[in-house]
Amino acid sequence: MNRREFIKTTAIAGAGWLILPTGVRAGQSAPSNKLNIALIGVGGRGLAHYDSLVGENVVALCDINEKRFPDALKRFPNAKTYVDWRKCLDHKGLDAVVCCTTDHTHAFIANWSLNRSLHVYMEKPLAISVEEARVVRANWLTKKTKLATQVGMQRHAIQNFNRVRELIRDGVIGELKAGYAWGNRQIRRTSYLPAKGRPPEGFHFDLWLGPSPDHPYNPDYFSSSSGRNCLQWNMYWDFGVGQIGDMGSHTMDLLWNAVDATLPTSAEAKGEPFNPDVTPVKCESHFEHPANNWRGPIRVSWYQGGVMPISPKPYVDLKKIDHGAMFKGAKGYVICDFESRIVLPFGDNADFTYYASRKKEAVLPPLGHFQQQWFDACKDPSRKTACDFEYSSNMIEQMLLGLVAYRVGKKIEYDGVNGKVTNCQEANDLLSRKYRSGWTLNG
């Protein structure tokens, strides 16, 4: 059983309530076997976590918008409130953090939490620069036997993820050659918003900016409905990475789960003209990945904003799948969305004699409840989570390298061991981003 299959198998065991042997405590400090949790970012996406959090002790709530607290306190009446996550992480007796803040703070909060020996559930994307992804991964790899991590790619629990993986691994399309993922969300902006009005009372805009460069306040960054407000700010370079961090995190996960890749050896990309304020809507990026222990080298591609891979047959209209993935093998294609898949055998030899479908007992078990998988791993870190900080940082680092290649406009060669582009100094300069003074990525 390889690592991914192991995770899926152990995950099912972790789906229900965990019974620990006498003397083993759940959190580091919770004698009741409940975790002491800080929820950072309590509105918007934070609300989606309330129901699963009520089974634990939510002891701290942190939001830069104090208006979020009264409602949250109704659900978690014993929590202390904070407006600055750096202070929140020093809350005494904390075991774990669930973080639903803006993308430009994710890697910071991940690192600071790990450095304080806290388990972390981080909303996607884990990072918005290559350097951020690498620092979080390096940090977590030193703590992986003690701490549990999960990135909020909860679609991973849809059973279709297992089915697609089985088809690829079992060779339904022969030897895997390439994978393509795409997302067709298109939210166009032209430039950072001009100064408009003043932040309402209790709204700490300077803390919202956090490590990112200074920008004037404008209420339009915060004008969307709950859980969709990220679509107001995630396309600006200083606050996010557009579709890559948005639906790209979910959709590349559908592909990533099936190919067992780590870091690419090259990246190339093209898209609409570069805008220094806003990430591209229309863009495609391509990556070369080395062989692993079950397949040869493959090419992985990401398409967004209306550009699409070429359909293997004109009668298959890929554009009808808003967010999907396709796998090309020596004997055909698998095409899928989050919930379903089709197999398209191809060529004279694609007669299925080479393919043996799995016996019932070898079918990958359901992952169970995605957040519960993390709670269970917090209480017993020998349990695995599906989207831990190694799996997720590799995936986002690849996607972010595509944005770097887009910016320099040439194919870049990547040394993933050292995190260096070997053929373009300008690209190396774009692997990291600049922070406002007073903010430390790995504090």
Ligand X SMILES: NC(=O)c1ccc[n+]([C@@H]2O[C@H](COP(=O)([O-])OP(=O)(O)OC[C@H]3O[C@@H](n4cnc5c(N)ncnc54)[C@H](O)[C@@H]3O)[C@@H](O)[C@H]2O)c1
- Contact between 14 and 377 under an 8 Å Cβ cutoff? The reply is yes
What residues form DSSP beta bridges with 412? Answer: 267
Distance CA 108, CA 100 (A): 13
Token pair of 60 as six digits: 């701290």
Give the range of 36-44, 170-178, 382-390, 395-403 binding ligand X by CB under 6 A: 36-44
- The one-letter amino acid code at 239 reads F
Token pair of 304 as six digits: 């967004």
State which residue has the least CB distance to ligand X. Answer: 44
Binding-site member from 14, 43, 324, 332 for ligand X (CB under 6 A) = 43
Distance CA 212, CA 435 (A): 5
Place of tokens 């780590």: 262
Nearest residue to 166 (alpha-carbon basis) of 257, 253, 252, 250: 257
Residues 278-317 as x/- pattern, contact with ligand X by CB under 6 A: ----------------------------------------
320 burial level (CB within 10 Å; 0-12, 13-18, 19+): exposed
Residue 125, preceding bond cis, omega within 30 degrees? yes
Residues 122-181 that bind ligand X (CB under 6 A): 123-124, 152, 154
Distance CA 266, CA 261 (A): 13
> In the complex, what is the shortest distance from the CB of residue 35 to ligand X, in angstroms, rounded to a whole number?
20
Distance CA 154, CA 287 (A): 25
Residue placing its CB nearer to ligand X in the complex, 148 or 344 = 148
Residues 62-101 that bind ligand X (CB under 6 A): 62-65, 68, 85, 100-101
Write the DSSP assignment of 178-193 as a string of letters. Answer: EEEEEE-------SPP
Residues 193-212 as x/- pattern, contact with ligand X by CB under 6 A: --------------xx-x--
Binding-site member from 14, 46, 183, 264 for ligand X (CB under 6 A) = 46
> In the complex, what is the shortest distance from the CB of residue 226 to ligand X, in angstroms, rounded to a whole number?
7
> In the complex, what is the shortest distance from the CB of residue 118 to ligand X, in angstroms, rounded to a whole number?
16
Residues 218-257 that bind ligand X (CB under 6 A): 227-230
Task: Give the phi and the psi of residue 356 in degrees, each rounded to 5.
Answer: -115, 115
What residues form DSSP beta bridges with 57? Answer: 36
Binding-site member from 11, 26, 36, 41 for ligand X (CB under 6 A) = 41
- Number of other residues whose CB lies within 10 A of the CB of residue 315: 7
Strands 266-271 and 176-183, sheet pairing: unpaired
Residue placing its CB nearer to ligand X in the complex, 27 or 46 = 46
> In the complex, what is the shortest distance from the CB of residue 207 to ligand X, in angstroms, rounded to a whole number?
6
> In the complex, what is the shortest distance from the CB of residue 63 to ligand X, in angstroms, rounded to a whole number?
4
> In the complex, what is the shortest distance from the CB of residue 176 to ligand X, in angstroms, rounded to a whole number?
28
Binding-site member from 45, 49, 289, 341 for ligand X (CB under 6 A) = 45
Residue placing its CB nearer to ligand X in the complex, 124 or 323 = 124
Give the range of 57-65, 131-139, 168-176, 253-261 binding ligand X by CB under 6 A: 57-65
Binding site for ligand X (CB under 6 A): 40-46, 62-65, 68, 85, 100-103, 105, 123-124, 152, 154, 207-208, 210, 227-230
